[in-house]
C-alpha cells in the first residue's frame, strides 16, 4: 500500500506494532480504564496497588505481540470467550457464495458497535479466509490509546468529525480511494456498515450516501455500474436473537419522539460496547449474500439491492416473531414462541407503555421488512411465522 496518502486513516502495519503497543501500555488513561474494567472495587479503593500490577501484566503480554497477526490472534481469544459465555448458538450461512480469488467489500446491517465486524471477521477466519480491514468512525476514538488499539487491529478511520462541506468531501474522497486500493491493489477484504450509526429501531436500510462515497474514486471514463461491480460488494445480514442494548435503544428512541432530541453522555458509546460484548445475546446468525454483479446505475439502486439481500437473508428469531405478533394484536399459541414472549415481557418490565412498544417495534421490524420484499411467503399465523423463519434460514 502507498501509505503516504492514507497515513492518518490506514491500519498500522507490522513494523509499527511494537511501538504502538508500548505507547498504549504506557498510557495512564488506558491502565486506569483496564483497572476499572477488570477489578472495579480494587481500582476504586486501592488504585496505587492494582494499576502497576495491571501495567506489568499488559507489558508482558504486549512483548509477545510482534505483528498484526499476533494481535488478531489475541483478539480472537477474547472473542471466543465472549461467544462461549454470551451466545447460545452462532450459525453462519452463505460462505460458499464468496469468491476465492478476490477481495470483497462486505456491507452489513449495523446493530452492535464492535460485534458486527468482529463476528464477520470471526466467520471468515474460521472459514480460512483473510481477515478484514474494518471501517471505524473517529467519533469512537476519544483518546489516543483507543485509536491505537483500533488501528493495530486492522481497522481504518472514517472521519465523521469533519465539519465544513469542503473537509467532508476531502475526507470522503480519501476514504473512497483507500477502500478501492485495499480491494483492488492490496487484495484485502473491507467491512463497512450500511449506514452511519446503529439501526436502533431495527430498520436495516442502506444509506445511498455510503454508496455515493464509494463512487467518488470512480474514473470519469468508467461507468458507475462497472465501478460498483469492480468493488465486489457482498451484503451481510447479522441477526441477534436478543440485543443487550435493546432497552437503552428503546429509551433513546422514545426520548427523541417525546422531546425531539437526545443528548448522548460522554461514556455512552463505551458503555454500549461493553454491554454488547458481555450481555446475553442468544442465537446469532450471520448470512453472507451474493456479490452484486447486476448492472446498477445509481447509488439508490445499489442501496436497494443491498437492502433486499439483507432483509431476505435476515434470520427471524422467535424474539422477532413474537414482537411482530404482539403488535398485530394476535394471540400466541405456538409453544416455540412462549419462552421468547416471556423474555420480551421481562425486558419490558419497568418501561412506560410507549417505550415498551418501541422495544416491540425494534424486534418486529425485520419481519416487516422481510415480508415487504417477499410477499409470496408472507404469513398471518404463528405457525406460518415459524415456517418463514425456517425458509429464511435455508435461503441464507
Task: Please write down the HEC assignment for all residues of the chain.
Answer: CCHHHHCCCCCCCHHHHHHHHHHHHCCHHHHHHHHHHHCHHHHHHCHHHHHHHHHHHHHHHHCCCCCHHHHHHHHHHHHHHHHHHHEEEEEEECHHHCCCCCCCEEEECCCCCCHHHHHHHHHHHHCCCCCEEEEEEHHHCCCHHHHHHHHCCCEEEECCCCCCHHHHHHHHHHHHHHHHHHHHCCCCEEEEECCCCCCCCCCCCCCHHHHHHHHHHCCCCCCHHHHHHHCCEEEEEEEECCCCCHHHHHHHHHHHHHHCCCCCCCCHHHHHHHHHHHCCCEEEEEEECCCCCCCCCCHHHHHHHHHHHHHHHCCCCHHHHHHHHHHCCCCCCCHHHHHHHHHHHHHHCCCCHHHHHHHHHHHHHHHHHHHHHCHHHCCCCHHHHHHHHHHHHHHC
Mean pLDDT of all residues in 372-384 = 40
Distance from C-alpha of 80 to C-alpha of 351, rounded to nearest angstrom: 33
Neighbour count for residue 364 (Cβ, 10 Å): 23
Q: What is the pLDDT of residues 205-256, one digit of tens each?
A: 999 999 999 999 999 999 999 999 999 999 999 999 999 999 999 999 999 9
C-alpha distance from residue 3 to each of 32, 62, 131, 178, 308 (Å): 33, 25, 19, 10, 36
Distance from C-alpha of 231 to C-alpha of 239, rounded to nearest angstrom: 25
User: CA neighbours within 13 Å on the CB side: how many for 160?
Assistant: 14
Q: What is the pLDDT of residue 389?
A: 38
Higher pLDDT, 288 or 33: 288
- Is pLDDT at 393 greater than 70 in this prediction? no
Mean pLDDT for all residues in the chain? 91
- Identify which of 173-177, 369-373, 375-379, 392-396 has the greatest average pLDDT: 173-177
CA distance between the termini of the chain: 35
Least confident of 13-27, 164-178, 265-279: 265-279
Q: What is the pLDDT of residue 154?
A: 97
Q: What is the pLDDT of residue 70?
A: 97
Mean pLDDT of all residues in 122-128 = 95
Q: What is the pLDDT of residue 330?
A: 79
Q: What is the pLDDT of residues 56-115, one digit of tens each?
A: 999 999 999 999 999 999 999 999 999 999 999 999 999 998 988 899 999 999 999 999
Q: Which residue has the cell 446498477?
A: 296
Mean pLDDT of all residues in 131-141 = 95
Distance from C-alpha of 233 to C-alpha of 98, rounded to nearest angstrom: 10
Mean pLDDT of all residues in 35-53 = 88
Strands 282-288 and 233-240: antiparallel
Neighbour count for residue 312 (Cβ, 10 Å): 20
The candidate with the shortest Cα–Cα distance to 238, out of 210, 264, 276, is 276
Mean pLDDT of all residues in 35-40 = 84
CATH architecture of the region 67-312: 3-Layer(aba) Sandwich (3.40)
Widest CA span in the chain: 65
Domain boundaries defined on the chain: 67-312, 316-396
Distance from C-alpha of 264 to C-alpha of 284, rounded to nearest angstrom: 28
pTM of the model: 0.90
- Please report which confidence band the pLDDT of residue 380 belongs to, taking 50, 70 and 90 as the band edges: very low
The candidate with the shortest Cα–Cα distance to 160, out of 203, 129, 192, 187, is 192
For the chain, the C-alpha Rg in angstroms (whole number) is 22
Amino acid at each position: 500500500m502507498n501509505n503516504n496518502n492514507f497515513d492518518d486513516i490506514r491500519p498500522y502495519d507490522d513494523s509499527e506494532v511494537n511501538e504502538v503497543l508500548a505507547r498504549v501500555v504506557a498510557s495512564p488513561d488506558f491502565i486506569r480504564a483496564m483497572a476499572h474494567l477488570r477489578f472495579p472495587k480494587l481500582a476504586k479503593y486501592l488504585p496505587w496497588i492494582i494499576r502497576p500490577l495491571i501495567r506489568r501484566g499488559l507489558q508482558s503480554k504486549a512483548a509477545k505481540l510482534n505483528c498484526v497477526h499476533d494481535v488478531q490472534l489475541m483478539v480472537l481469544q477474547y472473542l471466543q470467550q465472549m461467544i462461549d459465555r454470551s451466545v447460545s448458538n452462532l450459525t453462519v450461512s452463505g460462505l460458499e457464495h464468496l469468491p476465492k480469488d478476490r477481495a470483497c467489500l462486505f456491507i452489513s446491517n449495523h446493530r452492535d458497535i464492535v460485534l458486527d465486524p468482529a463476528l464477520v471477521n470471526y466467520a471468515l477466519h474460521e472459514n480460512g479466509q483473510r481477515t478484514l480491514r474494518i471501517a471505524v468512525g473517529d467519533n469512537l476514538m476519544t483518546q489516543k490509546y483507543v485509536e491505537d488499539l483500533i488501528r493495530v487491529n486492522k481497522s481504518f478511520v472514517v472521519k465523521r468529525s469533519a465539519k465544513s462541506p469542503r473537509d467532508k468531501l476531502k475526507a470522503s474522497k480519501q476514504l473512497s480511494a483507500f477502500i478501492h486500493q485495499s480491494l483492488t491493489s492490496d487484495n484485502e477484504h473491507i467491512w463497512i456498515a450500511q449506514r452511519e450509526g446503529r439501526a436502533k429501531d431495527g430498520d436495516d436500510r442502506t444509506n445511498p450516501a455510503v454508496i455515493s462515497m464509494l463512487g467518488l474514486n470512480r474514473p470519469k471514463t468508467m461507468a458507475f455500474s462497472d465501478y460498483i461491480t469492480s468493488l465486489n460488494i457482498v451484503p451481510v445480514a447479522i441477526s441477534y436473537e436478543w440485543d443487550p442494548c435493546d432497552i437503552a435503544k428503546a429509551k433513546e428512541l422514545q426520548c427523541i419522539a417525546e422531546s425531539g432530541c437526545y443528548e448522548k453522555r460522554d461514556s455512552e458509546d463505551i458503555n454500549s460496547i461493553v454491554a454488547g460484548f458481555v450481555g446475553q445475546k442468544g442465537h446469532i446468525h450471520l448470512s453472507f449474500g451474493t456479490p452484486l454483479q447486476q448492472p446498477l446505475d445509481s447509488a439508490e439502486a445499489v442501496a436497494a439491492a443491498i437492502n433486499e439481500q439483507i432483509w431476505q437473508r435476515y434470520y427471524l428469531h422467535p424474539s422477532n416473531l413474537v414482537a411482530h405478533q404482539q403488535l398485530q394484536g394476535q394471540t400466541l399459541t405456538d409453544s416455540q414462541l412462549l419462552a421468547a414472549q416471556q423474555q420480551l415481557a421481562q425486558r419490558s418490565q419497568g418501561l412506560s407503555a410507549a417505550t415498551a412498544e418501541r422495544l416491540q417495534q425494534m424486534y418486529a421490524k425485520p419481519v416487516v421488512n422481510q415480508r415487504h420484499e417477499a410477499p409470496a411467503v408472507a404469513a398471518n399465523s404463528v405457525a406460518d411465522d415459524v415456517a418463514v423463519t425456517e425458509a429464511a434460514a435455508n435461503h441464507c
